Structure formats: structure tokens, C-alpha cells
Amino acid sequence: MKQLKVDQLEPDMILAESVYSASGKVLLAEGTKLTPDLIKRLMEMQVPRVCVNDENTIPIDPNEVLTNRVHTQALRILGTVIPADLCGSRLEDAQFRYELVAETIAKIMETKEVHELFLDLRTIDDDTLDHSITVCVLSLIVGAALKFTPDRLYMLGIGAMVHDIGKKAVPPEILAKREDLTPQETEIFQAHVKEGYRILREHGFDVPIAKVALYHHERWNGSGYVNRLAGDNIDIFSRIVQTADVYDDLIRGLTYKQKYLPHEAMEYLYGAGNFYFDVRVVKAFTSSISAYPLGSLVKLSTGEIGVVVNVQKTSAPRPIVKICYDKNNNRLDYPRQIDLSEEKTIFITKIL
Ligand SMILES: [Fe+2]
């Protein structure tokens, strides 16, 4: 193993130690084979030195390591957002969708062209890969709710997973900026949709998949970018990915200044249905994705603390909560249940 300055690196060298971002996340895992693109990215991110293998060390396949991680994370997200306790035919529905989505994820993970892009997504910034995985899973659940065939689900899932790949071309300082972008920076940032389309076509992806990168910032009422398409002129894959993209951004507090709670993000989607988003997609989204996974510990506006014990399909953002602690944090001897879909004045203020 030897330590080199980033400007001494050459393509095909293998990282002997993982490279971390300022916030402590793994940017590039140990074993990664460097490419000209990755070296450029390390320079842009002002990483000073890295350790690379010398002739005597055996490289591991970074794509395989990362693909396994992505697969595990996708299944974990899937398990938390599909309401698992729906009764009767609804339960069968949920199980069927879970299996269909899990099978589609497995098929996507076997697609070589996709896992080659995981490394790029991982090095864009701290959040892009995690965000992409979530958007992929949420989009697939919506696609399954809209009764897409397995083939269409597969294409939708890939489009969702790589929708932000064009951010590769955006300088890290613009991606990291939390204040308003200048008009010039906005133009550079917005160009990621065209760049994404170009990259995906160059990698041999079909037009319907590449179009998701191009149209994921369009809006139903024509107020999006870059082509200002409206309504049905935006393809259904992009309309689904737009909704999942905004939902996850709201919860992560990335693009929007304030961080939303899941039920607030759901309410935002409801409110923006037929305005920013296709209302049919919003309905499929809010009725098949659970804002609060079963077992979540939540604080209510009354100050009480409880556990989410049931999720109604028709009112997923307002679950049934079993109150275990009173507002003074005293454990209740006899926990009681409260149905938030009926108690409209009480709401969740925090996930604990
Ligand atoms: Fe984007």
C-alpha cells in the first residue's frame, strides 16, 4: 500500500483504503478501481491524499460490494413503507406488491449497466445514492399500485434509480450550496437533466428510461424545467418519479428549506395533486405507501408518546397510535389507542 497525492493518481489504480467525505460518509470504498472520472471528482472534492494498492495486494470488486449494499438498503426501505397490517384482500394486495417490487429490485441489481452507475451516484455527494434508492423503491410501489407489467416496472425502476446521474456534471460547491443559487448557478444545476439524458443514452439505456432523467423536474401545470411540458405530455414514468423525488426531498430537507415530517410531505403531495403532480399518481402514492412504518415511536401534539400500531390504507398519513407515555413522560399502566384519522386535531410532531 502507498499513499499518493490526488494529482499523482492514475486510472486503474486500486484504493487500499476507503475515502470519506467531510461528514464521514464513505465516498469511495476500499477496492475501488480508479477511473479518469473518479480522479477528477476526487480533485474537485479537494481530497488531499489517498492510499492505493501496490502490486502485492488483491483487489476486490467495488461494484459488487456497492451493489449488495444498494440491494439490502432497497429491501429495507421496501419493508418499512408498505403497510404490512392491512386486513383481508388488502393484505394480499400489499404482499403481492411487496413481492413484485422485491423481484423487480433483484432484476435491476443484476443489470450490469445499472450497477456501473452506482459508483458515480455514490461520488456525486453524500445523499444522491441514498436518495436514488428511496426514489426507486417508492416509484416501484406506485407502479405496482398502477398495475404496471413486470417489464414496465423494471424500466420505471431503472429510470428512478438513475434519474439524477446528470448531477455528475454539476460542480460539488453548487450541489452543496444551501443558500439560493444565483441565476447562473441555477442554469448550471438545471442542466443536470439534459446531461442525465445524454449519459444514459451513451450507456445504451432505452429512450423511456433516459427520458426520466430529462423530465423528472417538469411539473403537471407546466411550471417545471427544462422543457416546460405539462399534463400527459410528460410520460408516466417521469410523473411517478417526480412525485417520489419531491416526497423524499421534503423529508430529507434537501431542496426545501424546512424538513417535513412524512405526513406533512404526504399532505403536501395531496395539496399539489393536479397542480404540480398528476393526481392519479398522488392517489396511488398516498394509498400504497405508509408515512409511518408500523412500530415507529412518535410524539403527538398533546405531548404524549406512542407507537404506530396500525395503518389504514385510505388514511396512511394518519395512523392508529398506542399511547404508552403521558405528556409528563410517565409510562401508562394501561396504554390506550388513538385513531388519528378520527382525531383530526391531534397530529404527530416528531418521529423519535
Ligand atoms: Fe434532479
Q: What is the CATH number of the domain that holds 219?
A: 1.10.3210.10
Residues, beta carbon < 5 Å, ion ligand 1: 164
With respect to residue 57, please indicate whether it lies within any of the assigned structural domains: no
On whether both 334 and 199 belong to a single domain, the answer is no
pLDDT reported for residue 194: 97
- DSSP structural state of residue 15: B
Ligand 1 centroid to Cα of residue 66, in Å, is 22
pLDDT reported for residue 88: 43
Q: Grid coordinates 491524499 are at which residue?
A: 49
Please give the distance of CA 91 from its chain centroid, rounded to a whole number.
25
Q: Grid coordinates 398506542 are at which residue?
A: 322
On whether both 73 and 103 belong to a single domain, the answer is yes
pLDDT reported for residue 170: 94
C-alpha–C-alpha distance, residues 301 and 348, integer Å? 6
With respect to residue 185, please indicate whether it lies within any of the assigned structural domains: yes
Ligand 1 centroid to Cα of residue 6, in Å, is 29
On whether both 42 and 118 belong to a single domain, the answer is no
On whether both 259 and 304 belong to a single domain, the answer is no
Ligand 1 centroid to Cα of residue 58, in Å, is 37
With respect to residue 20, please indicate whether it lies within any of the assigned structural domains: yes
- DSSP structural state of residue 164: T
Residue where a domain stops, chosen among 242, 267, 288: 288
Point out the residues of the chain with pLDDT beneath 70.
22-24, 55-60, 83-92, 256-257, 311-317
251 closest CA partner among 136, 119, 351: 351
With respect to residue 265, please indicate whether it lies within any of the assigned structural domains: yes
Dihedrals phi, psi of 179, to nearest 5 degrees: -80, 175
pLDDT reported for residue 1: 74
Residue where a domain stops, chosen among 237, 260, 288: 288
Domain that includes residue 86, residue range: 62-288
Ligand 1 centroid to Cα of residue 238, in Å, is 11
On whether both 149 and 262 belong to a single domain, the answer is yes
Ligand 1 centroid to Cα of residue 72, in Å, is 24
Q: What is residue 50's three-state secondary structure?
A: strand
Q: What is residue 347's three-state secondary structure?
A: coil
With respect to residue 143, please indicate whether it lies within any of the assigned structural domains: yes
- DSSP structural state of residue 307: E
On whether both 185 and 116 belong to a single domain, the answer is yes
On whether both 72 and 213 belong to a single domain, the answer is yes
CB 4 within 8 A of CB 43: no
Number of domains composing the chain = 3
On whether both 71 and 218 belong to a single domain, the answer is yes
Ligand 1 centroid to Cα of residue 249, in Å, is 10
Q: What is the pTM of this model?
A: 0.79
On whether both 204 and 146 belong to a single domain, the answer is yes
Ligand 1 centroid to Cα of residue 245, in Å, is 8
On whether both 107 and 156 belong to a single domain, the answer is yes
All cell numbers assigned to 56:
502485492
On whether both 159 and 249 belong to a single domain, the answer is yes
With respect to residue 205, please indicate whether it lies within any of the assigned structural domains: yes
Q: What residues have CB less than 8 Å from 11, skipping those under 6 apart?
A: 34, 35, 36, 39
Burial class (CB in 10 A: 0-12, 13-18, 19+), 178: exposed
How many residues in total does the chain contain?
A: 352
